[in-house]
Amino acid sequence: MKLIILDRDGVINHDSPDYIKHPDEWVAIPGSLHAIARLYQAGYTVAVASNQSGLARGLFDITALTAIHQKLRKELAQLAGAIDAFFVCPHGPDEYCLCRKPLPGLFEDIARRYDTELTGVAAIGDSLRDLQASAAAGCTPWLVQTGNGAKTLKQGGLPAGTRQAVDLSDAVEQILTKTV
């Protein structure tokens, strides 16, 4: 199985310090949906692993989150692409759950769902916690410089073996052409 794991906010769509609370606030980063479509067309199973503490904070509900993901799926379908599954941590940072990145719980859920090992699976994120969670799960962490990625790179402390890309399109190009 060819599997890839993506963070959502800052990787696929523009992030906001005020959270993405409504489908109208969800705006794809240029080229990101084309990149996902390329992966899907190349036979990859595409999973999204995303902290969504706005749920715990009461900023939006599961209906709004579902509508956001439906918008993403609809725009992606127009490009002959798809996301196979969304794995979401709905907890706040003070709830100390096992699924909130930087812990690897969401990644372990993905491994169980697809009955696969994650060793070497590309996991693309824009924050240190994305990279830490993916590395803890055995994935190959990829840092994109969209979203919080440039700040994350500047802060340093990246897990060993972290690969870098300008954006999701660049990461997908590198993965598909095996130039890494």
- The parent domain of residue 38 ranges over 3-177
Cα–Cα distance, 73 to 95 (Å, whole number): 30
The string of pLDDT tens digits covering residues 33-44 is: 999 999 999 999
Kindly report the CATH number assigned to the domain that includes residue 154. Answer: 3.40.50.1000
Does residue 180 surpass a pLDDT of 80? no
Inter-helix orientation angle 128-136/105-114, to 10°: 50
Residues catalogued as catalytic = 7, 9
**pTM for this prediction:** 0.97
Question: Could you tell me what percent of the chain has a pLDDT over 90?
Answer: 98
CB–CB of 29/72 below 8 Å? no
Report helix, strand or coil for 171: helix
**Tally of domains within the chain:** 1
The string of pLDDT tens digits covering residues 49-70 is: 999 999 999 999 999 999 999 9
**Which uninterrupted H or E stretch holds 88?**
strand 85-89
